[in-house]
Amino acid sequence: MWVRERDAVDYLGISAVTLIAWVHFPYRFFVYTQIHYAAWWLQRWIDQSPAEVIAVAVVVVAVAGGALLAGIVRSASA
């Protein structure tokens, strides 16, 4: 059970590092620009309505935590 979750975390870390390395290539300017725009938009949204951002973050964390807990319980009961 724990090996699968550890593998998922490893894959997530490898994916993040690969994405960062991929964006840093000079011919990936379009992707870099899109990520930069998304970060700028997120910062603007945080500045305009921080309470809304916190509410959305709480909902996302609750749903992700529920999905993780359901996966752990399902794996344990199988």
Express each pLDDT in 35-71 by its tens digit: 889 989 989 988 898 889 889 999 999 999 998 888 8
Q: How many CB atoms lie within 10 A of CB 64?
A: 10
pLDDT (mean) for 3-13: 71
| pTM for the predicted model, two decimal places | 0.49
Q: What is the pLDDT of residue 2?
A: 53
d(CA 16, CA 42): 19
Q: What is the pLDDT of residue 53?
A: 87
pLDDT of 10 over the 70 cut: yes
Q: What is the pLDDT of residue 29?
A: 74
Q: Measure CA of the first residue to CA of the last residue in the chain; give whole Å.
A: 10
